[in-house]
Amino acid sequence: MKNIAKKLLIPILASRPIAAVANRFFGGGVPVFMLHRMDDENHARAGGTRTAHLRRCLQYLVDQGYRFTSLEQIVTTLREGQPLPAKTVVFTMDDGFVDQATIAAPIFEEFQCPLTFFVITGMLDQSLWPWDTQVAWITETAATQTLATSVAGKPFTLPLGSVDDRRHAKRILHDAIRETPSDAIKKIVRLIASDAGVVIPDTPPAAYQPMTWDMARQLERRGIQFAPHSVSHNLLSRLDNDKLQQEISDSWATLDRELLNPLKVFCYPTGRTGDYDARAINMLRDSGYLAAVTTTPDFVMPVRTDEDLLYSLPRFSLPDSMEDFIQCCTWIEYAKNNL
């Protein structure tokens, strides 16, 4: 029955009028995937992409005849006003932690899949430990089963009984802290740490070590590209104009100094709507950036050069389940596989 349905429906779905409409809404777009941390057996952390899952996703794409391309190529295609290639996917990875260089990069190389790293340059300079990863570390390591704390006077009582509880607590605290002014964040995070009964170390613990610039240079020689993800990972929309310009200009200047072939495409810290604003888009354009990426889940669709959309390109977080991953790849592929 399943096969008959498949035989009947696939030609209908793939027929020109239906495919044209489907392509208008679902196809003709390229999914750009983003990854964050990898599941690292040496360091217990809440979450992270499992290596077996990443391999399975990449193998699926190879088996189904997808093409891997680089973010640089897609940005060039968009800027030239060319149609986007069909059945093509792009992979990016944010932040610049050591596990991303040692665990993730070799897997992408194994599949000959281009990868673009968006790195927090202050972190690779070994001069800062971003506030949001400090909060992650606090919620992962707190010895208590409940965290009673507050953010800018607002009280929170958060259960920490399970890994999921801890992830949830991290999200709640991130969302609350995002609403506060950037110069208040350091103090707020200290207070949360003290309420959780932990002391934030001066330098990141092993599970939060950034990759070094030497590692980045080695990866670059192997064909992996790097692009800026700000200096400090502070939310751009909370910064005054001078600090905003610093995040945009200094992160590029550092990459340009440290590496041979960085890509001038910006990645907004946290990257949700409201985390960046029109000032940031204008500064990026004026500073010669080619494009910028967000964390809004959607397909990249053709845009006109210099349109604001070029500075808010969407990306899908790599889904944890194979079904969701396939759905992100294309609508028609998803339909075929589910019939």
- Least gap, CB of 120 to Zn ion (angstroms): 7
Which runs of E-coded beta strand occur in 1-101?
32-35, 67-68, 88-95
How many chain residues bind Zn ion (CB under 5 A)? 2
φ, ψ for residue 33, nearest 5 deg: -95, 145
Nearest to Zn ion of 94, 258 (CB atom): 94
Residue showing tokens 């093509």: 88
Determine if 333 is a binding residue for Zn ion (CB under 5 A): no
What CA–CA distance (Å, rounded) separates 217 from 238?
32
Sequence letter at residue 13: L
CB closer to Zn ion, 94 vs 247: 94
Question: What is the number of helices (H) and of strands (E) in the chain?
Answer: 15, 10
* CA distance from start to end of the chain: 10
Distance, in Å, from the CA atom of 10 to the CA atom of 91, rounded to the nearest integer, reads: 28
Sign of CA dihedral 317, 322, 324, 325: positive
Q: Please, what is the minimum distance in Å from the beta carbon of residue 95 to Zn ion? A: 5
With residue 178 as reference, give the H or E element that holds it: helix 163-178
Minimum separation from the CB atom of position 236 to Zn ion (A) = 12
What are 22's two structure tokens? 């489907």
Task: Write the binding mask 41 to 80 for Zn ion: x where contact by CB under 5 A, - elsewhere.
Answer: ----------------------------------------
**49 in Cβ contact with 318 (< 8 Å):** yes
Q: Which residue is nearest to Zn ion (CB)?
A: 94
Beta carbon nearer to Zn ion, 95 or 140: 95
> Which one, 66 or 266, has the nearer CB to Zn ion?
266
207: which DSSP letter?
A: G
Q: State in angstroms the smallest separation of the CB of 94 from Zn ion.
A: 4
Nearer to Zn ion, 94 or 275 (CB): 94
Whether 270 and 160 have beta carbons less than 8 Å apart is answered as no
- Tell me the sheet residues that pair with 35: 93
Find the binding residues for Zn ion in span 85-144 (CB under 5 A).
94-95
Q: How far is the CB of 48 from Zn ion (least distance, A)?
A: 14
* C-beta of 95 vs 258, nearer to Zn ion: 95
Nearer to Zn ion, 22 or 93 (CB): 93
Nearer to Zn ion, 166 or 315 (CB): 315
- DSSP SS3 for 303: coil
Q: How far is the CB of 132 from Zn ion (least distance, A)?
A: 8
Cβ 114 to Zn ion shortest distance, Å: 20
User: How many CB atoms are closer than 10 A to CB 197?
Assistant: 12
**Residue 13 Cβ vs Zn ion, minimum distance, rounded to whole Å:** 37
| Cβ-based nearer residue to Zn ion, 88 or 230 | 230
> Could you tell me if 249 and 271 are in contact, meaning their C-beta atoms sit under 8 angstroms apart?
no
Please choose, from the candidates 318, 127, 99, the residue with its C-alpha nearest in 3D space to the C-alpha of residue 208: 99
For residue 181, how many other CB atoms are within 10 A of its CB?
Answer: 11
Nearest distance, CB of residue 166 and Zn ion, angstroms: 19
Alpha-helical segments (H) within 131-236: 131-141, 163-178, 185-196, 213-221
Chain residues in the site for Zn ion (CB under 5 A): 94-95
